Amino acid sequence: MTACGVCGTVVEERPATWSLQVSERGQVWLCDTCTRENLRSIEGRLDEAWW
């Protein structure tokens, strides 16, 4: 079972579209939706206030 570190979505088997994000808090999985949102925010700004 894997849970998205941002929206909390839980899946039994993690799809290949999920991405592993490494932060100061450790490794966090992001669902496909949050991965897209994350990429957008990385392109826009580098602060991590959204965490």
12, 18, 34, 39: residue in contact with Zn ion (rule CB under 5 A) = 34
18, 21, 29, 31: residue in contact with Zn ion (rule CB under 5 A) = 31
Which residues in the 5-24 window bind Zn ion by CB under 5 A?
6-7, 9
**CB-based contacts of 29-37 (< 8 A; 24+ apart in sequence):** 29/2, 29/3, 29/4, 29/5, 30/4, 30/5, 30/6, 31/4, 31/6, 31/7, 33/7, 33/9, 34/4, 34/5, 34/6, 34/7, 37/6
Minimum distance of Zn ion from residue 39's CB (angstroms):
13
Q: Which residues form the interface with Zn ion (CB under 5 A)?
A: 4, 6-7, 9, 31, 34
